[in-house]
Amino acid sequence: MSTKTTQKKYCNQPPAVNTKHEEGITENRLGFILSVNKKWVNGTTIKYLFIKGEGNKTQYDVVRKAFKQWKDLGIGLSFIEVTDIDEAMVRIGFDHKDGSWSYVGRDILTISKADRTMNFGWDLNNAYGLTTALHEIGHTLGFQHEHQNFNAGIVWNTEAVYKSFSAPPNNWSKAQIDSNIISKLPPNQMQASKWDAESIMEYEFEPGLVRSPKPYDTAGIYPGGSLSPQDIGAVRSFYPPLKKNDTQTLAYMQSAVLTAKSGKQNDFVFKAPSTRKYTIQTFGDADTLMVVSEKGAKENHYLSGDDDSGFSKNTKVTLPLVKGREYLINVRVMYNGARSGSGIVVS
Ligand SMILES: [Zn+2]
């Protein structure tokens, strides 16, 4: 048996924002919503900022390299570093008195501008530093801890887990160990893929912490520390490369059908025929997340969004649009299992 012990510090997540939904919705529908509701719409440009007075260029470069590794997979999300805090969605700090963590996916949008959305609690300038940066960005993209995946089926030796993680270097409380390791995440029907012990979202666990499955009880869990084939498959599935002909033209007062399957997207472009307020809304029973942005020469500018998932209503955005400019309307269909068809219209 190996004599390896938990010597590394691990990501210590803040509590997730609870998903609200109306009562009485089916488990199937809720399962689809929970599996995708923290993800960004594909095509989002995620702007990140390093908090002034923390970290240094060496640390920033590791984080930049990690963003590039995710982007180089060909995904439809983009990452842009900005220096204006009013522009940034992701605010990255390097407070070594705190741990390493990031809020998950669109939870980030609910965090006050005064607060960071990601922190690095240790030096990143080594192999484990790059692993840490890839992991925290994984949370920012909407991925959660792989060992908490409901489908993982891990049976913990809970006493041994408490003992190992309450000791240095992590020194976690029971509540922190529960929320980062022991608690299972809600059943996740989109990522019903089997547990991936090699995932960047997986921690290391020394032998004796897992009772089953085999051989991890005696071998421990030692992921490779880089993006695994399953990580790459998952991120490409949620954020596939953008192709020009995926975008449909939407004309004023002419509705279009939402054809996307649950978890997938319909993307539209609308050219405003005059300068005035328009209302962009979905109709029908589908659960959707709608994001409207203005097309720019270099990047698209987020304008507004709405999310009706888990409620008997529709997404609706009213905005002043400018004659001749083009607007992207990205609709992530969270759940499209309803009997009636759903669509979208600009009026
Ligand atoms: Zn984590």
For 111-130, how does the pLDDT look when each residue is reduced to its tens digit (9 = 90+)? Answer: 999 999 999 999 999 999 99
Question: Cα 53 vs. chain centroid, distance in angstroms?
Answer: 27
Question: How many Å lie between the centroid of ligand 1 and the Cα of residue 263?
Answer: 23
pLDDT, tens only, 246-265: 899 999 999 999 999 998 99
Count of residues for the chain? 347
Ordered domains of the chain (ranges, CATH)? 27-238 (3.40.390.10), 244-346 (2.60.120.1050)
Please identify which residue in the block is written with the tokens 């997979």.
73
Position 116 scores a pLDDT of 98
Compute the distance from residue 296 Cα to the ligand 1 centre, in Å: 34
* Averaged pLDDT of the chain: 91
CA 25–ligand 1 middle distance (angstroms): 30
- Among 80, 70, 15, which Cα is nearest to 44's? 80
Give residue 1's pLDDT.
40
What's the token pair of residue 20? 């609200």
Phi, psi at 124, each rounded to 5°? -95, -5
Which alpha helices (H) appear in 100-203, and where do they start and end? 127-140, 158-166, 174-177
Neighbours of 336 (CB within 10 A): 22
Burial class of residue 243, CB neighbours in 10 A (0-12, 13-18, 19+): exposed
Ligand 1 centroid, distance to 67 Cα (angstroms):
16
258: buried, middle or exposed (CB in 10 Å: 19+, 13-18, 0-12)? buried
Question: Per-residue pLDDT averaged across 220-230, rounded?
Answer: 95
pLDDT at 5 over 90: no
CA dihedral 37, 42, 44, 47 (to 10 degrees): 70
> What is the 132 CA–ligand 1 centroid distance (Å)?
8
**Per-residue model confidence as pLDDT tens digits over 181-216:** 998 886 654 455 678 999 999 999 999 999 999 999
Tokens at residue 288, please? 């959707």
Q: What pTM does this model have?
A: 0.92
HSE, CB side, 13 Å, CA atoms: give it for residue 140: 29
| Residue 26 pLDDT exceeds 70 | yes
% residues pLDDT > 70 (the chain): 95
Distance CA 184, CA 158 (A): 13
Burial class (CB in 10 A: 0-12, 13-18, 19+), 344: buried
Distance CA 94, CA 70 (A): 21
Collapsing DSSP states into helix, strand and coil, what is residue 330?
Answer: strand
Helix (H) or strand (E) run with residue 34 in it:
helix 27-36
Query: How far apart are the CA of 68 and the centre of ligand 1, in A?
Result: 19
Give the distance (Å) from ligand 1 centre to CA of residue 315: 31
Ligand 1 centroid–CA 137 distance in Å is 9
Rounded to the nearest whole angstrom, what is the distance from the C-alpha of residue 256 to the centroid of ligand 1?
39
98 Cα: distance to centroid of ligand 1 (angstroms): 14
| Residue 301 DSSP one-character state | E
Report the C-alpha gap between 51 and 150 in whole angstroms.
35
Task: Identify the bridge partners of residue 90 per DSSP, sorted by sequence position.
Answer: 48
What is the Å distance from ligand 1's center to 207 Cα?
A: 21
89: its two tokens: 């969605």
DSSP code of residue 205: B
pLDDT for position 16: 81
Report the first-to-last Cα separation within the chain, whole angstroms: 68
Distance 283 CA to ligand 1 centre (A): 37
Mean pLDDT of 2-15: 75
CA angle, 77 then 81 then 82, to 5°: 125
Burial class (CB in 10 A: 0-12, 13-18, 19+), 64: middle
